[in-house]
Amino acid sequence: MPHYNYVRVETSAPEGTVFPQPKFSPRGAVPGKPGDRSAFSFKINTRLDGKHGRTGVIHTPHGDIQTPCFIPVATQATMKAVTIPQMKDNGAQALLSNAFHLYERPGEAVMNAAGGLNEFMNWDKPTFTDSGGFQVMSLGAGFKKTLAMDIEGMKNDDVIADGKERLAFVDEDGVSFKSPLNGGMHRFSAEISMRVQHNIGADIMFAFDELTTLMNTRKYQEESVDRTFRWAQRCVAEHKRLTEERLGKPYQALFGVVQGANYEDLRRKAASQIGSLDFDGFGLGGAIEKNILGDIVSWICDELPENKPRHLLGIAAVDDIFAGAENGADTFDCVAPARTARNGAVFTKDGRWNIKRAALKFDFRPIEEDCDCYTCRNYTRAYVSHLLRSGEMTGATLATIHNERFFIRLLDDIRASIDGGYFFEFKESYLARFYAKGSKG
């Protein structure tokens, strides 16, 4: 491994820090004792006929999550352009923050001293953090927005996006990467990821994994699956050590991540390996081609223990959500609803469309007639269009509120359809209407 001069990372608060009084009382946190693991559990309610899909409840120290469920992404302990009370009004059951970005700023020492992620951002419901695996891939290969790529005829283990510099380097022990903020060199490993995520303090966190691109060769995908399994073993051991060491904290559930790209045998092997370890749940990760997403989720769920929750990482296209829920995913997250909103794209049952169009200047209807979000209850298409075209920040807020509510409500409706026994009819009619005009998902 090359020699790097790594940046010194602050892992504890400086002497003299005045620590805030906690606002919340999470289940299973007892002064002087490790977090009680029984505060986290999963119960299946209704199974979908002939498929892995189901409804259920994830119990966490900060409350319950009714599944299937959409988890909005509060990357840096906040939703971009939207406040915590607005997300509660939107019906969000949980939020997912980014361990890599919180590690860079404000830093794990600040998060820990604040009392953890919930206390820091004043959110009294469940929280997730990812492991940093996606950011490592993104820094290495330069792909920022999506993992769904056209890869015909392209196989290259040195793949790099046009105009990008490789900023992350993988070895057996972990990953060295150059900070996109200041250019300093940092190190992530299974143990470091566990330390960072324990200090951040989310209810659910993910094991450190290697995320490949679909352009990587079969040989590299095989090596990566085995390496991710070895890292997963180290994550489980370090997680148990830190849980015993960090007294008075609520138990943090640890999810293992299943990789394997588009290969059925690798997905099944990875699921069997990760499923054999003492995880509380599982992340379904990796670059996936859309046309076989449902198959991949089904292959994985064939091999995983049924009595633990499964989170499909980074998916928010409408057809992909239906495919994921049908084939066994319990929770979903993606930055797309908020990111597209800031660019003027809004989601409705009649598809995704651009609200900044000049034709909407005199359209005084809500974004969606039957939507119950704050934006649609109070504002018109003409107003939101005006704000976004004028560069007003409130436009991003109102569009984001609507888009996040769209996906939260979609998963709520899918959950009701499974419980009510009409999922397949609901799926067929919903997708037919949404894509009738050729909308992007």
> Could you give the residue numbers annotated as active site?
130, 333
CB–CB of 194/208 below 8 Å?
yes
CB atoms inside a 10 Å sphere around CB 233: 18
**DSSP per residue over 228-260, as a string?**
HHHHHHHHHHHHHHHHHHSTTPPP-EEEEEE--
* C-beta of residue 404 within 8 angstroms of C-beta of residue 337: yes
Annotated binding site for Zn(2+): 371, 373, 376, 402
Task: Give the residue carrying structure tokens 């504002």.
Answer: 379
CA geometry: angle at 101 spanning 115 and 128, to 5°?
55
Radius of gyration of the chain (CA): 21
At residue 63's C-alpha, the angle toward residues 60 and 69, to 5°, is 85
* DSSP label at residue 149: -
Q: In sequence order, which ranges of 131-263 are alpha helices (DSSP H)?
A: 133-141, 190-200, 218-245
Q: Residue 345 in 3-state DSSP?
A: strand
Cα–Cα distance, 59 to 38 (Å, whole number): 9
Distances in whole angstroms, Cα of residue 240 to Cα of each of 27, 70, 237, 328, 399: 19, 28, 5, 28, 42
| Residue ranges of the binding site | 130-134, 209, 259, 286, 371, 373, 376, 402
Q: From the annotation, which residues make up the binding site for substrate?
A: 130-134, 209, 259, 286
Contact predicate 407/70, CB 8 Å = yes
Helices 264-275, 293-303: crossing angle, 10 deg rounding: 40
Question: Which helix H or strand E contains 20, and what residues bound it?
Answer: none
Q: How far, in whole angstroms, is CA 77 from its chain's centroid?
A: 13
Residue 154 tokens read as 């392209």
Which residues in 316-342 are b (16+ Cβ under 10 Å) and which e? Answer: bbbbbbbbbbbbbbbbbbbbbbbbbbb
List Cβ neighbours of 92 (8 Å cut-off, separation of 6 or more). 71, 72, 125, 404, 408
Q: CB–CB of 215/34 below 8 Å? A: no
